Structure 1
Amino acid sequence: MRKLYYCALGIIYKELLRFIKQKSRFFSALVRPLLWLFIFSVGFKSALGLAIIPPYETYITYETYIVPGLVGMILLFNGMQSSLAMIFDREMGSMKILLTSNISRSYLLFCKMFATGIVSTIQATVFLFIAFLYGIDIPTLGYFLVIPVILFTSIILNAFALFISSVIKQLENFASVMNFVIFPMFFLSSALYPLWKIKDSSLFLYEVCVLNPFTYIVEFVRFTLYLKFDLNTFLIILGIFIITLTLAFIGYNTKNVLKR
């Protein structure tokens, strides 16, 4: 147990140290959501009227609606950045050495996901604080309750990103994969607009959004921020958590690692 503890501590320390040294990574993670919050929401506010829908109990502004989705954006992009770092580590040999140690590969991968999740949680928390200063109305207790939810959902996206990195053989292919994974996941969800509005415009796109796991991550964050709990969303998130972890562990088994 002592060995596992120090192993986890070392991986978390390395990830936090990398995060502290790469200050541009912190600011770049905030630029995208802040652009949506401060600039794009101004234009969309007049075009999109929002009815009273759960978890909201009154009419809300557009910028209030998109805050949970922008939190999801931070987690999604950080997850893919961790995937890029994993590909680099694997090509340089450090990850191959780490995964062939006498410590369980599944445990090492989970520690990597957890460490990246901590970094993502820090960035998302800073964004929520800026949103609070901007005047977004969120219950005070919601800020505290959402922190473990952000960490949990971040691990899901990190696991999905690790699975993607396990099938990418060249670092140069990452950009194209990012375009075909990140942007469809984000835009085909409830991050920027309610599903009922999508359904009114296109039933096909609505069905795609319903099947998108990222939709449930955003809704889980949204409901928690406003002190509500949706059992169906929680069960779906739990199922996604198990599936993504399984895919990540399978993607980085001994056979696949040694092949590369």
Structure 2
Amino acid sequence: MPRFAANLSMMYTEHDFLDRFAAASADGFEAVEYLFPYEYDAAELRRRLDDHGLRQVLFNAPPGAWESGERGIAALPGREAEVRSAIDRALEYAAALGCPRVHMMAGLVRPDATPEDLAEHRGTYLATLARAAERAAAVGVDILVEPINGRDMPGYFLNRQADAHAVVQEVGAPNLKVQLDVYHCQIVEGDLTVTLRRDLPTGRVGHLQIAGVPDRHEPDRGELDYRHLFDVVDELDFDGWIGCEYRPRAGTSEGLGWLKNYQGEDA
């Protein structure tokens, strides 16, 4: 059966961040993910995980000036030294939290970027990912890249699954993998059943994420049949986690009927 992790950046926002661990555990989650841990002491986060029997399965490397609108720096020429510092900081937290995956956001490109500009971005991306993967491999951590739709994040460098897999294959590091967010994939290209059946068996997908489309609420409303998609994931023996990266329509706990129904049907 697929394993689900609560995304504490989007879920349980009715609680202070450090109290979200307890709330997720009380609802039966065994794992959590979130965007960034860096506002908090790693020892305090680890204590919250341990106190509530949770595993940390994913977070993002420092993304640059997030509050100023930056969305990653891995593909930005001239930021290589900052990327190295960011991955070192992320790996320190990963070690403290026992987290086996770190997502490195690529960053935004200008709307008027030329083909030459895009080639430079891609070259920078490949080089920084190769260095990050080598550094992370030494401590047993996977580096992830994620295609993100241009409606939610205009200008994001990486949008399509095929492009992400091409990057992973070109770098060639066994611990560099794709983070397949079903929400983003549906908006950009759709054909989700075929995509899952094509990409999961390759071993290049390290993490899945879900949300309802088009409004990014619970996955029991909207245009996707998640029961079918979960069954496809199950049939393919995917052994990673599925992050619940959605914004609850009302209270988080009150909106978990979809999960209880699915797990009850498969019990």
Category of TM-score, reference length = shorter chain: under 0.3
Q: Which has the larger radius of gyration?
A: 1
- Higher relative contact order, chain-length normalized (CA < 8 Å, sep 6+): 1
TM-score (norm 2): 0.25
TM-score (norm 1): 0.26
The structure where helix makes up a greater share of residues is 1
